[in-house]
Structure 1
Amino acid sequence: MRTFFSTLLLSVGMLLWSHITQAQDDLLSLAEATDSADSGNITGAFKATRLVNGHTVETNGQQELLFLISHRFGTLNSGAYNLFGLDQATIRLALEYGITNRLTAGIGRSSLEKTYDGFLKYKLLQQSRGEKPIPVTLTLFSSLAVNTLRNGNTEREVTFKSRLAYTHQLLVARKFSERLSVQLAPSLVHRNMVATRQDENNVYALGTGGRFKLTKRTSFNAEYYYVLPGETADDYINALSLGFDIETGGHVFQLIFTNAQGMVEKFFIPQNTGVWSDGDIYFGFNISRVFSLKKEKDW
């Protein structure tokens, strides 16, 4: 419960602080989901850089810094003694910076396995209309994660290199209407070290998901990662996640139900164990806040 209340207080503090700062613009320009008539670009396929657990095609604007708090409680089937998961929690804190309007770099730290991660994300194509329309938005994503847990098994040497895991994704999305956006995410997760010789170092998966806009500032999201057949697919469970987004002028607040505890790709794609039908459902949230670091012009 201490973790829950500390995170809650931090979140409330951020919300209050946002109302007394001058940065009152809506979260990224994408949050308003408006289309540019001048350029013909079709923007705002998603409200945030995350669909639920996984990334969306969206990138930060240039010189915009995003602060992201991700929180997952324990499973609902943990019982009343653990307040149905509220006594158990994992958290990830992250910063994401828009180097350009198309290129974003990010770093994060998860309490699960004390994992540090970093990523680069580049928007290669932007969906557009006009004489030469582009039917989809295409974003390349690549990340590196390192497990920093102390080695409890003294018989097996764990080097720094063996602690590394890499993820590469091709994010493809189309905004079909003002309400509906759909995304595909072919994915490769490479782990330098696996638990047994039967486990696969390379795990291939196909992510799919979408967003249905309910009102101007709310939407329902769904996300599913299908792990291609192999030893990993036989031993683990595909991640299914549902979310509800609320955009509140500077923040996107995402309420989440998922069978995946981890919040980076190395966890929720190749080593997920939660089963929805058994009640292995993690309730949680993401809170995104963007700060513009652009210098104001002197007129």
Structure 2
Amino acid sequence: MKPKLALLLLAIVLFNKANSQDSTDLFKQLGVDEPQKELVYASFKSSRIIMSHSVEMLREGVLDFRILHRFGKVSGGTYEFFGLDGPATVRLGLDYGLTDNISFGIGRSAYKKELDGFLKYRPLQQSKGPGAFPVSLVAVAGMTYAADTITKRYHSSDRFAFYWQALIGRKFNDALTLQIMPTMLHKNIVAQGEHNDLFAGGFGGRIKLSKRISFNVDYYYVINQVPGITNPLSVGFDIETGGHVFQLHFTNAKGINERAFLAETADHWDNGDIQFGFNISRSFQLKKKRS
């Protein structure tokens, strides 16, 4: 009886093992037991934090029309209606998503009548699950052209400036996203005593306050800035309303593109020399979404 019992027990074990293996294979085919890699989206409500690029990208085929507006200084008091009387600075821009990971944009600012453009590429996106990557990495390259210059002796090439950025951001949870932004700015021509190349470390963040509202901060520390120029700091709120994103903010940066706010921010928060501003983003889906 003992040999027969041993054979019976062996048969039961083999049958259970085979049956378990078949079930595992079936679950794998169904994708039940195998966790899937999941990309992280909505790190920010917009492709801009306030003045800076964010790690958030436009989806493929999306055109983003953007209006950026800054009023005059709040320190102007009641006579200037706390800056609302102006003078104002405005930038109009169009950004387009070539793919989910590549976008470009152009813009025109009233400040120094500057034209600007950029190319933005995301080689790595934050993800969770198998093969997860902890952060999103985005590279940005841009240029500006100042049509309004101090003297007419400047050549056209002197009016160009270029910047390069690496954006490294992480969405820690639904409420908090942080981002760092090492940046280099090159100006083809500068005044005596200034630097052609500026190096800056940027920091940005978002705190979700409700389903449609978040608090944002945007700051740069310029390492080799000249005396009389300070570091740009902006704080404000994102308000999402369907296809629009409104950004209401306060900043000490008069200029709206990277060259202007990195190299020419002269106002100080502690003196009340700040401007109230708003950004409006309206997105249009020009290309049919892939199913």
- 2:45 counterpart residue number: 47
Unaligned runs of 5+ residues in structure 1 are 1-36
Superposed counterparts of 1:59-70, under 5 Å: 59-70=57-68
- Kindly indicate whether the alpha-carbon contact (under 8 Å) linking 1:142 and 1:167 is maintained by their aligned counterparts in 2: yes
- TM-score computed with the length of structure 2 as normaliser: 0.85
Superposed counterparts of 1:241-256, under 5 Å: 241-256=234-249
Asked if residue 207 in structure 1 is aligned to residue 221 in structure 2, the reply is no
- 1:159 counterpart residue number: 155
Question: What displacement does 1:296 show?
Answer: 8.0
Structure 1, residues 121-174: CA drift from partner, whole Å, max 9, x if none? 00111000112110100000011100001x5535xx201110001010000000
Question: What displacement does 1:80 show?
Answer: 2.3
- 1:134 counterpart residue number: 133
Asked if residue 175 in structure 1 is aligned to residue 171 in structure 2, the reply is yes
In terms of Rg, which structure is larger? 2
- TM-score computed with the length of structure 1 as normaliser: 0.82
Distance between the aligned counterparts of 1:199 and 1:266, measured in 2? 14
Distance between the aligned counterparts of 2:36 and 2:76, measured in 1? 53
Amino acid at match of 1:255: L
- Kindly indicate whether the alpha-carbon contact (under 8 Å) linking 1:259 and 1:282 is maintained by their aligned counterparts in 2: yes
Distance between the aligned counterparts of 1:234 and 1:293, measured in 2? 47
Amino acid at match of 1:69: I
Q: 1:75 aligns with which of 73, 76, 81?
A: 73
Give me the CA root mean square deviation.
1.5
Amino acid at match of 1:259: N
- 1:143 counterpart residue number: 142
- 1:22 counterpart residue number: none
SS of equivalent residue, structure 2 residue 184: strand
Question: What displacement does 1:274 show?
Answer: 1.0
- 1:287 counterpart residue number: 280
- Kindly indicate whether the alpha-carbon contact (under 8 Å) linking 2:95 and 2:103 is maintained by their aligned counterparts in 1: yes
Amino acid at match of 1:70: L
- Kindly indicate whether the alpha-carbon contact (under 8 Å) linking 1:227 and 1:233 is maintained by their aligned counterparts in 2: no
Superposed counterparts of 1:66-105, under 5 Å: 66-88=64-86, 89-105=88-104
- Identify if the C-alpha distance between structure 1 residues 218 and 208 changes in structure 2 by more than 3 Å, giving closer, same or farther: same
Asked if residue 115 in structure 1 is aligned to residue 118 in structure 2, the reply is no
- Kindly indicate whether the alpha-carbon contact (under 8 Å) linking 1:257 and 1:282 is maintained by their aligned counterparts in 2: yes
- Identify if the C-alpha distance between structure 1 residues 259 and 152 changes in structure 2 by more than 3 Å, giving closer, same or farther: closer
Question: What displacement does 1:38 show?
Answer: 5.7
Asked if residue 217 in structure 1 is aligned to residue 215 in structure 2, the reply is no
- 1:258 counterpart residue number: 251
- 2:270 counterpart residue number: 277
SS of equivalent residue, structure 2 residue 174: coil
Aligned length: 255
Amino acid at match of 1:95: L
Structure 1, residues 247-288: CA drift from partner, whole Å, max 9, x if none? 000011000101101111101112210100111111000000
- Identify if the C-alpha distance between structure 1 residues 38 and 47 changes in structure 2 by more than 3 Å, giving closer, same or farther: farther
Distance between the aligned counterparts of 1:296 and 1:98, measured in 2? 12
Structure 1, residues 42-81: CA drift from partner, whole Å, max 9, x if none? 1111000110111101111111100000000001012322
- Kindly indicate whether the alpha-carbon contact (under 8 Å) linking 2:204 and 2:218 is maintained by their aligned counterparts in 1: yes
Identity of aligned residues (%): 45
- Kindly indicate whether the alpha-carbon contact (under 8 Å) linking 2:194 and 2:226 is maintained by their aligned counterparts in 1: no
Distance between the aligned counterparts of 2:128 and 2:58, measured in 1? 22
- 1:33 counterpart residue number: none
Distance between the aligned counterparts of 2:231 and 2:118, measured in 1? 23
Amino acid at match of 1:282: Q
- Kindly indicate whether the alpha-carbon contact (under 8 Å) linking 1:207 and 1:225 is maintained by their aligned counterparts in 2: yes
Superposed counterparts of 1:9-28, under 5 Å: none
SS of equivalent residue, structure 2 residue 80: helix
Question: What displacement does 1:223 show?
Answer: 1.2
